[in-house]
Amino acid sequence: MSRLVTIFGGSGFVGRYIARRMAQEGWRVRVAVRRPNEALFVRTYGAVGQVEPVLCNIRDRDSVAAAMKGADAVVNCVGILNEVGRNTFGLVQHHGAEHIAQEAASAGVARMVHVSAIGADAHGPSLYSQSKGLGEKAVLEHFPDAVILRPSIVFGPEDQFFNRFASMARFLPVLPITGAGSRFQPVYVDDVAQAAVMGVTGKAAPGIYELGGPEAKSFAELMEDMLEIVRRPGTWVIGLPLPLSAVMGTAFDLLQSLSLGLFTNSILTRDQVRSLSQDNVVGAGMPGLPELGIAPTAMDAVLPEYLWRYRPAGQFYEVRESAKRLRP
């Protein structure tokens, strides 16, 4: 285990899968996070001492340099969906990515993998997409041979997409969504991790890869599929008009500002409304999982394995339904 990889954000949803796979490949793994005491679980991914969380804030270049000292490769999978305090899109997804690329080039790191997102565009409709685009530009400026991964919505047991809406469906007879007609191409988290490992180990050529699953569906269709899995056919999916969603997002943003941090807008931001108005699918002609030799995992093969707990009777739902068919 002489090779060392530093994974920035390695305790997050995508990062933990990359960390586990890198440990399985026999690498030493340094997980760089803001709160290492909350990331101790990553130690179980490898042998004793193989995977270690360390303190790092990518907004600070000195902190980034210390975290990648002696590393043979780096992976950046730090990202945010909404701005809170000093963690703004610009500081985290643009300048943070720039700090990592600058320090990696300065330290002579052999390989870099940067996890971005489909829709990354410096001139995109939302601050999120703009910061992702500027982050990619900065990475390629300082580390031209980087592997950049752009996943669509990522799903898996710890995701904040299907889990969030399935949880809401337990209590709400109506599921309101923004951008009901926008198309997504959900990709399995371990497929993304496998692509990242290929970038670290040199099995993926430098460049930009857009990662999507085998199916592209509208937001509303994804919610209908989810409701079928959690056995809640009585829940209605209602698409909110974008102007109404924008008003709601603005109100929640204002509440966050006026509360001085006591309320964090994790419901809907105006910037998310702009993002949700666009399709989020792999672009025509863009290399992706097939070009990497990875067979995309279908949602049907994974979603029932972790969404069962949102069924009316949880793990006992099938038993209860079977009992109903028993003859007295």
Contact 227, 312 (CB under 8 A): no
Averaged pLDDT, 9-20? 98
Contact 32, 39 (CB under 8 A): no
277 — pLDDT class (breaks 50, 70, 90): very high
- What are φ and ψ of residue 220, in 5° steps? -65, -40
pLDDT digits (tens, 9 = 90+) for 199-219: 999 999 999 999 999 999 999
For residue 232, give the amino acid letter. R
For residue 158, give the amino acid letter. E
> Residue 152 and residue 210: Cα distance in Å, rounded?
8
Number of residues assigned to the chain = 328
Residue 188 half-sphere exposure, CB side, CA atoms within 13 Å?
A: 18
Q: Distance from CA of residue 39 to its chain's centroid?
A: 17
* The two structure tokens encoding residue 12: 């997050």
- Tell whether the model's pLDDT for residue 328 goes beyond 70: no
Contacts of 228 (CB under 8 A, 6+ apart): none
pLDDT of 316: 74
pLDDT of 2: 85
Identify the residue whose tokens are 């590393």.
Answer: 71
92 — pLDDT class (breaks 50, 70, 90): very high
pLDDT digits (tens, 9 = 90+) for 112-162: 999 999 999 999 999 999 999 999 999 999 999 999 999 999 999 999 999
Identify the residue whose tokens are 């199916």.
Answer: 215
Identify the residue whose tokens are 């959900």.
Answer: 186
Please state, in angstroms and as integers, the Cα–Cα distance from residue 325 to each residue in 189, 230, 321, following that order: 38, 20, 7
H helices present in 28-157, as ranges: 61-67, 89, 96-107, 127-142
